[in-house]
Amino acid sequence: MRLMAATLVSFALAAPALGQGDQSGPETAKGTPMLTLDDVRAVSPALARYTQGPLLGEVWKRPGLSPRDRSIVTFATLIARNQTAEMPDYLNVALDNGVRPSEVSEIITHLAFYAGWANAMSAVGVAKDIFAQRGIGPDQLPAASPQLLPLDQAAENIRAARVEESAGPVSPGLVKDTADLLFKDLWLRPNLTPRDRSLVTVSSLIALGQVGQVPYHLNKAMDNGLTKEQASEVISHIAFYASWPNAFSAVPVAKTVFDSRPK
């Protein structure tokens, strides 16, 4: 049995008295019973209190991020860290919170490049079952090769020059693939908005402790419409799902970005 925290999100919002009385809980798509807060209390009463109170009762209700954005951040974090145990429930919550199947598909594809192919494939295995359970078919998924969004050539020239200067002498192949596969292809796929694609990228980088690329991608996210308030809340949200140290590692980097941008 495993802790289905996102289902607990639904329960905590819909039924404040969750955990009182005899509850066996619903079942997953594969028929495995989900743990209730009573199950958690049987092992760690404190964890149950933190789950029901600060996390589900407070963090998920804070106005700094919409429920849809919190779902995107959480789902991206779980994929980046290859934490599949809770992924089915958070994916269901994401779909309930308005994340479209086509966007789920794009998030997984995007994170193959930013969190690794194996982690994306693990997420495919989870999403396949959830899509089947909810009757989501190929007609709701993005095309393999859609009409791409227009490229901002001036911005791409600046990015390409910086990457060529830093990585060109070490790995010309990386420079080429970064341009051809990422910024002239992946980032231009239309089924995930640039703002949400940036949100996924920043979330995964913080979750993995890869703060070296956060300045570029956080600036890009804010250029794409992510507000300072939302970016701040992303960091605090990720602390619960990817650890306090990873969140705090992102703080000085984010501060530098915030301070460098026009007021």
Residue ranges in the chain whose pLDDT is less than 70: 1-34
Q: At CB < 8 A and 24+ separation, what contacts does 124-129 make? A: 125/84, 126/84, 126/87, 126/88, 126/91, 127/91, 129/29, 129/30, 129/88
What per-residue confidence (pLDDT) applies to 36? Answer: 81
Q: State the Cα–Cα distance between residues 203 and 206, nearest whole angstrom.
A: 5
* Domains assigned to the chain: 1-61 (no CATH), 153-260 (1.20.1290.10)
Written as six digits, the tokens of 196 are 């949400």
Q: Look up the pTM and report it.
A: 0.89
What per-residue confidence (pLDDT) applies to 2? Answer: 40
Q: State the Cα–Cα distance between residues 35 and 25, nearest whole angstrom.
A: 6
pLDDT digits (tens, 9 = 90+) for 148-207: 999 999 999 999 999 999 999 999 999 999 999 999 999 999 999 999 999 999 999 999
Nearest to 97 by CA among 44, 61, 144, 43: 61
Written as six digits, the tokens of 5 are 């925290």
Residue 97 · residue 68 · CB < 8 Å: yes
What per-residue confidence (pLDDT) applies to 232? Answer: 98
What per-residue confidence (pLDDT) applies to 247? Answer: 98
Backbone dihedral region for residue 56 (phi beyond 0: left; psi -120 to 50: alpha; all else: beta): alpha
What per-residue confidence (pLDDT) applies to 33? Answer: 55
Burial class of residue 255 in the structure, from the number of CB atoms within 10 Å of its CB (0-12 exposed, 13-18 middle, 19+ buried): exposed
How crowded is residue 30: how many other Cβ atoms within 10 Å of its Cβ? Answer: 8
Written as six digits, the tokens of 258 are 């915030």
